[in-house]
Amino acid sequence: MHPNALKAYWRRNLRYVLLLLLLWFLVSFGCGILWAEELNALRLGGFKLGFWFAQQGAIYAFVMLIFVYVGLMNRLDRAYNVHEQAPLAPDRPAGKKRPDPNSPQSPSSPTP
């Protein structure tokens, strides 16, 4: 594959990661700690909202963030044709310095 395409893949990956980490920060450190006091004025049933974020909401959000990332990356891997072609052989010969035939430098060769 063209090195520029790989650069573009990596940049997209970084953009996803930064965006998701921003959300990660906002739900936990933001809603759960920094603004907890203010959010506690609002209620969610018997919960004060800041307290709920700190002890429940942030955790639900974490789970969702990981699955969103998994989904985005699986799509991105295929779009840039860098995904692994399953099923893999269970083991690889132990040859130490053997160049990886599937490294981005020789993307056309098949998976072992």
Partner 1 sequence: MDVQRWTYLLVGASFALYLGIAYWSRAGSTKDFYVAGGGVSPLANGMATAADWMSAASFISMAGLISFMGYDGAVYLMGWTGGYVLLALLLAPYLRKFGKFTVPDFVGERYYSQTARQVAVLCALFVSFTYVAGQMRGVGVVFSRFLEVPVDWGVAIGMLIVFFYATLGGMKGITYTQVAQYCVLIFAFMVPAIFISLMMTGNPIPQLGFGDRLSDGTYLLDRLDSLHQELGFAAYTSGSKGLADLFCITAALMVGTAGLPHVIVRFFTVARVRDARLSAGYALVFIAILYTTAPAIGAFARTNLINTVHNQPYDAMPEWFSKWETTGLLTFEDKNGDGRIQYVADANRNELTTFDKDIIVLANPEIARLPNWVVALVAAGGLAAALSTAAGLLLVISASVSHDFIKKMVNPHISERGELWAARISAAVAVLIAGYFGINPPGFVAEVVAFAFGLAASSFFPAILLGIFSRRMNKQGAIAGMLSGLLFTLGYIVYFKFGQTLFGLSPQAVAPARWWFGISPEGAGTLGMLLNFAVSLVVMRLSPPPPAHVQQLVETIRYPRGAGAASGH
Per residue in 83-99, is it b (16+ CB within 10 Å) or e — as a string? eeeeeeeeeeeeeeeee
Residue 38 as a binder of partner 1 (CB under 8 A): the answer is: no
Per rule CB under 8 A, is residue 26 in the interface with partner 1? Answer: no
Pick one of 10, 22, 38, 42: the residue that binds partner 1 (CB under 8 A).
10
Site for partner 1 in 48-87 (CB under 8 A): 48, 51-52, 54-56, 58-60, 62-63, 65-67, 69-70, 73-74, 77, 82-86
Based on its alpha-carbon atoms, the radius of gyration of the chain, rounded to whole angstroms, reads: 21
Q: Does 11 bind partner 1 (CB under 8 A)?
A: no
CA distance 40 to 53: 10
- Binding footprint of partner 1, residue count (CB under 8 A): 59
Q: Return d(Cα 77, Cα 15) in angstroms, integer.
A: 14
